[in-house]
Amino acid sequence: MQVSRSLFDEVMVPNYAPSAVIPVKGIGSRVWDQNGREFIDFAGGIAVNCLGHCHPALVSALKDQADKLWHLSNVMTNEPALILAQKLVNATFAEKVYFANSGAEANEAALKLARRWAKNEFGEHKTQIIAFKQGFHGRTFFTVTVGGQPAYSDGFGPKPADIVHAEYNNLASLEALISDTTCAVMLEPLQGEGGIITPTPEFIQGVAALCKKHNALMIFDEVQSGVGRTGHLYAYMGLGVVPDILTTAKALGGGFPIGAMLTTTAIAKHLVVGTHGSTYGGNPLACAVGIAAFDTVNTPEVLNGVKQREQLFRDGLHAINAKYDVFSEIRGQGLLIGAALNERYQGKARDFMLAAADEGLMMLVAGYSVIRMTPSLIIPEADIAEGFKRLDKAIAKLAQA
């Protein structure tokens, strides 16, 4: 069957606007399209391909599990699910794990658990959820409403109730909203979609203190920042606070769909049998790949390498900015990097992304005025250098336009 971009318009729901490029092969941080054209991948499938494309450990794990057991549902458990859960418990604050298929589903579980915990522990009145403007927590109706970007949640009728939004990095804004009716405060420990915004230490410490004061759970959405992305296994480990609930997905499966919610025994006990579930959650194939990804990432070599590569990305962006004066600020941590466009290029992040693609470089945007890079955590230095050569060519053309 001949496949082209036009087929998308014929058979797919039009909620996406994919590029004309159709990749067919990837190895490490390089990708080839139908015509054999090569791209350097600074996008990583939106922070998903933490070990690049077709990493041998992940391929081997998937092939091995494919010959054993594909699916059971949670009527029974399976070995890969239990092994991965044990690894997550051993490596984090968590004592209990719930598996899902995506970050949105992990966040849905976290929010439902918070509401149930508050109801059981304090009563029907404690239902308020506070999140932050420009946050992003998924596309279910509950999670997209909690996410602080109305453009994503408007237009679908009445929204889930008792959800309010504070300003990120503004503790006074949170303090004005939080009360003893608040059941949870949900935030990204490094905002992704909202523009790659790093929290101040004072803000994070203040959020934790306010949650404790008002008996509210602190939920960290680490869907994008987790699994080594910041140079820590999870970002909270570098912030001096411990969340009550943490969600993880994206890089957890290195490209295979899986998500998880992590929490303590005392909180987890409120999701009793029948209160929540997922047919595919904890799928043996996904968990087997997740084990391989987790074991590969959770090593000093890889985590320390993230910090080293971060500096190469920062150096590359600063060098380009010295030549073309297009960025006002370089943001982020580890390999979740954002370059905010200066006043002359406001609203043109997509133009930069498309120009880069024309030169054979895949990257992302974070809003209308920030370009985003979330490459493989083990991207070779040669690929970083080549990617920046291509970005230089792209920006040179934009600067001359």
Catalytic residues, by residue number, are: 136, 221, 250
Task: Map residue 125 onto helix, strand or coil.
Answer: coil
- CA torsion sign, 143 to 295 to 313 to 235? positive
Q: Across the strands, what pairs with 122?
A: none
The verdict on whether residue 148 carries a ligand-binding annotation is no
Annotated binding-site residue? 97: no
Look at residues 58, 54, 26, 52 and name the one whose alpha carbon lies nearest to residue 294.
58
What are the structure tokens assigned to 243, written together? Answer: 């969340």
Between CA 387 and CA 398, with CA 393 as vertex, the angle to 5 degrees is: 125
Show Cβ contacts of residue 35 under 8 Å, excluding neighbours closer than 6 positions: none
Q: Is 296 annotated as a binding residue?
A: no
135, amino acid identity:
G
Contacts of 226 (CB under 8 A, 6+ apart): 233, 234, 235, 246, 248, 250, 251, 252
Task: Report the alpha-carbon distance of residue 278 to residue 261 in Å, rounded.
Answer: 12
Place of tokens 């024309």: 358
Size of the chain, expressed as the number of residues it contains:
401
Tell me whether residue 223 is annotated as binding.
Answer: yes
Q: Is 139 annotated as a binding residue?
A: yes
**Non-local CB neighbours of 77 within 8 Å, separated by 6+ positions:** 282
Q: Is 329 annotated as belonging to a binding site?
A: no
Whether 155 has a binding-site annotation, put simply, is: no
Alpha-carbon torsion angle 363, 364, 370, 373, nearest 10: -60
Q: How far is CA 43 from CA 22, 211, 263, in A?
A: 15, 35, 30
Is 229 annotated in some ligand binding site?
no
CA-wise closest residue to 31 among 47, 43, 46: 43
Locus of tokens 């000093």:
300
Given the DSSP bridges, would you call strands 38-41 and 30-33 parallel, antiparallel or unpaired? antiparallel
Q: Pick left, alpha or beta for residue 160 (phi over 0 → left; psi -120 to 50 → alpha; otherwise beta).
A: beta
**CA gap 33, 24 in Å, rounded:** 5
Are 388 and 309 spatial neighbours (Cβ–Cβ below 8 Å)? no
User: Do 96 and 111 meet the contact criterion of CB atoms below 8 Å apart?
Assistant: no
Binding site listing for N(2)-acetyl-L-ornithine: 139, 278
Annotated binding-site ranges = 103-104, 136, 139, 221-224, 278-279
Task: Please give the annotated binding residues for pyridoxal 5'-phosphate, written as ranges.
Answer: 103-104, 136, 221-224, 279
